[in-house]
Amino acid sequence: MNNRKSIVYNAFILTIIGGVYVFKRVLIANRGEIAVRVIRACQELGIETVAIYSDADKNALHVQMADVHYRVGTSDAMDSYLNRNAIIDAAIKTEADAVHPGYGFLSEDDQFAEMVTKAGLTWIGPMPETIKLVGDKDAARASVAPSGIPMAKGSDPLTSNEMAIEAAREVKYPVILKPVSGGGGKSMFIAHNETELKKILQIVDVTKTRFYFEHYIERSRHIEVQIVADYFGEVLHLGERECSIQRRNQKLLEESPSIALTDEMREHVGKLAVKAAKSVHYSSIGTVEFLLDLATNDFYFMEINPRVQVEHGITEAVTGIDLVKTQINIAANEPLDFTQKDVKITGHAIECRINAEDPDNHFMPSPGRIYFMHEPSGPRVRFESGITAGLAIEPYYDSLIAKVITHGRTRGDAILIMQRALNEFIIEGETESGDEVKTTISLHKRILDDNHFRTGNIYTQFIKKRLPVYETIKKKLTLKEKMQLTQTLGENLTKAIDEGIDYT
């Protein structure tokens, strides 16, 4: 039985309530705030949930909220949240019908998705072959290109330093070196000339990891479009998200809609996203990412993310459509219950990602136990977190503490509400060494106060140009700091910092 038939078949053997096929029990193969988010969606759908946990997370919020919980391994993510066999075993033993991967961890792992379906369970996400296709950027670009979707000039996957130097000349500087697989803005390097490229090639081995070039657009906005697609051929878009506020390719703050787009541009990029999704036979919810060249107002395709995004909440705020419940219903073989004409964008939403990092000290991770947390609330504020007072921000996983989302009648309203919310947000905790737990709240306050941000004059180099203090390494790192940074970002990136290479 192929994967598409398996998904449909699984949907038909589920419990029937009021004529609608639903799942009885869903295992969430994740942790933290996204696990909590999925649990809440399941609760509203009347579906029981299974939380998996590592030793470090045995008292975590998602474990407390789920109907059933199951230990899958030690605190090491490789032994727990990335342990495919242990998670499949947990799903079978807890009699789950389906598996929701959240984002991160195994959410873009086609092997895991296939294992889920072969175990007789439903995968809440795109088909495994689709995940594999869009996960290979070279293959994805090749699949999308025949549809006439514009994309920045790129190279074939590189196999040697000599090929890299020649390919960069052909693509034309500046170039951005990207891994063929993976996402999240990680392991990308920018070269403005051959000298910079040769430095990068000293720390990146293109013979062991597959990389390719794209022409780098200096002044651009990062625009992504939310898509939803069922198994009946319906593919819709739910507007765009502005993701240009980044530090070293890592998103910090997102908003929807983008102030840069006219109605005509919005309709155009929405149609491009739908066309891209159809070109890879996409189903489930997902995101098509583009760069908007500010010099020409042209959109260039970057990639398709086959999962729920961290920033999905701002789309929910402006459309009123619950993306996680929609994703679950699609997996249960339900047709979409709305059309493109039903999608209306109302107001403006902003999301700030609050991490346990010290923005004044190279964004060093700051894990520790939280002994007091006052969550922002009030009108038009949404707060999502996997942490509460008494719990710990673990050093083994992503440093995200919470997402703060505000929704205003206008962009100006949303900014004012966010400023009020961040002033209310108080976190007090202590690291293992006895220091105060640091967060990125202060960084977000500075962004919101910046006149260029407030007037919408933003692009992907905003942090580097407007708030360079957060990009510049002011002092030599201590050995302890280097070791910690190495563990967090990877040995190559630490060496890149030492060499003064711009890998943003």
Amino acid at site 6? S
Q: What is the C-alpha radius of gyration for the chain, rounded to an integer number of angstroms?
A: 22
Exposed (0-12), middle (13-18) or buried (19+): which is 93, by Cβ within 10 Å? exposed
Give the separation between CA 357 and CA 90, rounded to whole angstroms.
33
Q: Are the C-beta atoms of residues 49 and 42 closer than 8 Å to each other?
A: yes
| Dihedral over Cα of 489, 490, 496, 499: its sign | positive
Q: At 294, is the secondary structure helix, strand, or coil? A: coil
Residue-wise DSSP of 210-277 = -EEEEE--SSEEEEEEEEEE-TTS-EEEEEEEEEEEEETTEEEEEEES-TT--HHHHHHHHHHHHHHH
Q: Are the C-beta atoms of residues 306 and 226 closer than 8 Å to each other?
A: no
Residue-wise DSSP of 85-96 = HHHHHHHHHTT-
Q: Are the C-beta atoms of residues 94 and 50 closer than 8 Å to each other?
A: yes
Query: Could you give the C-alpha distances from 452 to 258, 296, 379, in angstroms and in order?
Result: 15, 21, 26
Residues 6 or more apart whose CB falls under 8 angstroms from that of 388 comprise 61, 370, 373
Residue-wise DSSP of 177-189 = EEESB--TT-S-E
Nearest Cα neighbor of 257 from 417, 441, 447, 456 is 456
> For residue 379, is the peptide bond before it cis, meaning its omega torsion is within 30 degrees of 0?
no
From 307, 380, 382, 411, active-site residue: 307
Considering only the C-alpha atoms of the chain, give the largest distance between any 2 of them, rounded to a whole number of Å: 66
The label of the residue with tokens 């902003």 reads 350
Nearest Cα neighbor of 300 from 268, 323, 327 is 268
The alpha carbon of 294 is separated from its chain's Cα centroid by a whole number of angstroms, namely 24
Active site residue 409: no
∠ at Cα 63 (440, 305), nearest 5°? 60
Torsion, CA 176, CA 180, CA 182, CA 186, rounded to 10: -20
Q: Are the C-beta atoms of residues 33 and 103 closer than 8 Å to each other?
A: no
| Residues tagged active-site | 307
